[in-house]
Amino acid sequence: MLSIKNLHANINDKEILKGINLEIKAGEVHAIMGPNGSGKSTLSAVIAGKEEYEVTQGSVILNNEDLEDSAPEERAHKGIFLSFQYPVEIPGVTVTNFIKTAINETRKAKGQEELPAKDMLKLIREKADLLEIDRKFLSRSLNEGFSGGEKKRNEIFQMAMLEPKLAILDETDSGLDIDALKVVANGVNKLKSKDNAVLVITHYQRLLDYIVPDFVHVLHNGKIVKSGGKELALELEAKGYDWLK
């Protein structure tokens, strides 16, 4: 599904990613771990197409299509979803209105009609119930005054609505207590299928107790220095990252 080949990326002329190779197939869960400053968040931003990053070499390929010339919204239309580490606030725009716009813009890009209001409402309720989200939550302004847990749950709710092919969870566990973490992980697990894939980016092993990866990769200094199964995460937890440097 996603194929990253020898990816190099800069920000402000500083090279952050120094040759990443990664293959993710449908139905798989991959985890990328690594110390602060290793390039984890840069990788997620580059896959999503954030402009400040300059790709100097290599490519990101989604379902045999090179994404080089795709704007962030086009990548989203093609099925890439990024759950943000720090979701932004948009005052005056409700969760419902925001997701409605996102869904309809995506449909428009695919040449489909807007989803009728009735169906939209039904879908929103269905997904909210699935993720045990209070209806009242849906009429609040997007992320405004949300707790850390609410923000992350809202990200997963949007993911559930947009049904991406590839979901990237960037430090989804940061700022969450254990109960909130379970709720979010539970949501992700419910949405997992053989047709989509999940890339979990995390600093700590604890999220991986709940979202169990098929593969774990260690990122260090802009490169993947080690790959393995889920047991690699436990090993990292025990030994730290220093032994890999």
For binding to another protein (CB under 8 A), which residues are involved?
48-52, 55, 67-73, 75-77, 81-82, 84, 87-88, 90-93, 97-99, 101-103, 105-106, 109, 141, 158, 162
Q: How far is the CB of 121 from another protein (least distance, A)?
A: 19
What one-letter code names the amino acid at 10?
A: N
Which is nearer to another protein, 107 or 220 (by Cβ)? 107
Min CB(45)–another protein separation in Å: 8
User: In angstroms, what is the minimal distance from the CB of 34 to another protein?
Assistant: 22
Q: How far is the CB of 196 from another protein (least distance, A)?
A: 16
| 54 Cβ contact list (under 8 Å, min separation 6) | 9, 10, 11
Nearest residue (CB) to another protein, 38 versus 83: 83
Sorted by sequence, the CB contacts under 8 Å of residue 61 that are 6+ apart come out as 2, 3, 4, 5, 67
The answer to whether the CB of 60 falls within 8 A of the CB of 245 is no
Considering beta carbons, is residue 12 or 245 the nearer one to another protein?
12
Calpha distance 34→224 (Å, rounded) = 9
Find the shortest distance in angstroms from Cβ 132 to another protein: 22
Q: How far is the CB of 245 from another protein (least distance, A)?
A: 32
Q: Which is closer to another protein, CB of 27 or CB of 87?
A: 87
Shorter beta-carbon distance to another protein: residue 196 or 205: 196
Closer by beta carbon to another protein, 89 or else 132: 89
